[in-house]
Amino acid sequence: MPPKKGYHLSEETRNKISAALKGHKHSLETRNKISAAHKPHKLSEETKAKISDSLKGHKHTEGTKRKMSESLNAFLNSEAGETRKKRQSEVMTGKRWKLSEEKKKKLSEIHKGYHPSDSTIEAIVKSKNRVGRKVIIDGVEYKSMKKAAEALGIDYSRMVGYCRYKRDEFYELTGHHIDWVEKK
């Protein structure tokens, strides 16, 4: 029986309880009950539809948006956030998982005789030659939003969002003024 809420057990009592429970194993039936209690409850389609309908049109307040933004920024700037960014970078650049020689041979065989269409080649060339949107912040012109984000120490995806939708909020948060963004 769990102790009363707010009631502190003495060290001696805690040791006695610990000793009594040492080596105690739950039966298979009990383990199944515990497992079932921890599994998420499946919602019916009707319930899902009701929840969806109730949330449609819901808008977060500016204060809530600011709190969510601060929370995300705090996480991304924390050690855990840095670890996540590093791991994602490794995955995207192929440093995290190396292909075995066997896998490389299989892929090579699959792609032998493959010739991309002219439109595919054109799209690849176009994407490699792509230049970002120019942006002017505080009178300084940057070749792209990415360069501006790096120079100002701001997350790139946030920079894009601010440039597109929230220029006033950007000024309030950073003290920098977005003067102009190149249209595409």
| pLDDT given for residue 16 in this prediction | 93
pLDDT in tens, the chain (184 residues): 555 677 788 899 999 998 998 988 889 999 999 888 888 778 889 999 999 999 888 888 999 999 999 998 888 888 888 888 888 887 777 676 777 888 888 888 888 887 878 888 777 777 666 666 777 888 888 887 788 888 888 887 777 777 776 667 777 667 777 776 766 5
- pLDDT value of residue 130: 62
Query: Residue 28's pLDDT is what?
Result: 92
Supply the pLDDT for residue 93. 74
| Sequence-distant (≥ 6) Cβ neighbours of residue 133 within 8 angstroms | 144, 145, 163, 181, 182, 183, 184
Q: Which helix (DSSP H) or strand (DSSP E) does residue 181 occupy?
A: strand 178-181
Q: How far apart are CA 111 and CA 125, in angstroms?
A: 20
The whole-number pLDDT of residue 3 equals 57
Given the structure tokens 């690849």, which residue do they identify?
124
The H or E element that residue 121 is part of is helix 118-128
Contacts for 85 with CB less than 8 Å, ≥ 6 apart:
76
Instruction: Provide the whole-model pTM.
Output: 0.30
